[in-house]
Amino acid sequence: MSYENTESNSDSSLDKNPDESISKSTHEKQGVLYIVATPIGNLGDITQRALETLKMADRICAEDTRNTRKLLTHFGIQGDLQALHDHNERFKVEAVKNWLDAGEKIALVSDAGTPLISDPGYHLVSELGELGYNIEPIPGASAIITALSIAGLPTDRFTFEGFLPAKNVGRNKALLANLKEPRTQVYYESSHRIAVTIDAFFEIYGATRKVVLARELTKMYEQVYRGNVAGLQQWISESPMHQKGEFVLMVAGHIEETESDEINSSIEELLKILVDELPVKQAASLAAKITGRKKNELYKQAMDLRD
């Protein structure tokens, strides 16, 4: 691992190796578009480079200017704020291009976390990137990485699904498509839909899939639920407080059952039904006749099930 130039320097283009020019702009004299991450709750998580960049930027494009004004005021930064949100982004690309052509330094921020991650900025970055403009990341918090870092689910490979569709049909279709996904799955969810989303997981993924729900990360009422879908459904309905705030839902990947796992779980299902209706000895004896398994093994299993 190596760190480069840990001294504060907001003009990070000075830190770059001149040979690393593959993705560098063909518009060397132009300004720079900085993609600046901001905290996801705790203002103490702002980075030094984010503050320096926001201070020196000629303009700051923000998803919600009132919200960003509060952030800037907290850190004593003035900032020329420009609205850039889902509804005006395509139209705003032209204006940002002109500012960059005039050599300006432009910062893009969203309401919280990293821009473009379930937030505006995709059209801007993709269009300006293709045209060869200078675009530099100022990394920081993002709810997905923050949540994964404490989930304890496999993180060597994972999928990010963002928000599920709002309507039942679309949501169920998306979940069905992901049901057999072997990687950890990460979803964003809001307070309005967290309960119905968990109900949908119960319906499609079943009760026992392992899940971790991270609520209000880095904020005063941060909570993390670890368990399975049925337990989470119960936890969410226990208190209206559990449904408030912002959520990252992480679901363990599907584990393919081997043929023998499947046979064993079918035998266990059969035994459960028989044990519910019959004395243990009779249940084991019947199960042995049906499955061809040894009676004494099934008897032991039936005793465990009954207990």
Binding residues vs ligand SAM (CB under 6 A): 40-41, 110, 112-114, 117-119, 142-144, 188-190, 214, 216-219, 246-248
Q: How far is the CB of 164 from ligand SAM (least distance, A)?
A: 11
Q: How far is the CB of 235 from ligand SAM (least distance, A)?
A: 16
Q: How far is the CB of 245 from ligand SAM (least distance, A)?
A: 7
Q: How far is the CB of 264 from ligand SAM (least distance, A)?
A: 38
Nearer to ligand SAM, 89 or 246 (CB): 246
The residue sitting closest to ligand SAM, measured at its beta carbon, is 113
Q: How far is the CB of 145 from ligand SAM (least distance, A)?
A: 8
Nearer to ligand SAM, 248 or 287 (CB): 248
Nearer to ligand SAM, 47 or 218 (CB): 218
Q: How far is the CB of 226 from ligand SAM (least distance, A)?
A: 15
What DSSP assignment string belongs to the chain?
------S--S-GGGGS-TT--TTS-S-TTS-EEEEE-B-SS-GGG--HHHHHHHHH-SEEEESSHHHHHHHHHHTT----EEE--TTTHHHHHHHHHHHHHTT-EEEEE-SSBSTTSSSS-HHHHHHHHHTT-EEEEE----HHHHHHHHH-S--SSEEEEEEPPSSHHHHHHHHHHHTT--SEEEEEEETTTHHHHHHHHHHHH-S--EEEEEESTTSTT-EEEEEEHHHHHHHHHH-GGGGSSEEEEEEPPP-PPPHHHHHHHHHHHHHHHHHHHS-HHHHHHHHHHHH---HHHHHHHHHHHH-
Angle subtended at Cα 26 by Cα 21 and Cα 29, rounded to the nearest 5 degrees: 105
Nearer to ligand SAM, 145 or 179 (CB): 145
Nearer to ligand SAM, 150 or 305 (CB): 150
Whether residue 197 contacts residue 171, with contact meaning beta carbons closer than 8 Å, is answered with yes
Q: How far is the CB of 76 from ligand SAM (least distance, A)?
A: 24
Q: What span, in angstroms and rounded, lies between the C-alpha atoms of 210 and 130?
A: 41
Q: How far is the CB of 219 from ligand SAM (least distance, A)?
A: 6
Nearer to ligand SAM, 61 or 274 (CB): 61
Nearer to ligand SAM, 61 or 214 (CB): 214
Nearer to ligand SAM, 58 or 216 (CB): 216
Whether residue 135 contacts residue 129, with contact meaning beta carbons closer than 8 Å, is answered with yes
What is the pairing mode between strands 210-215 and 223-228?
A: antiparallel
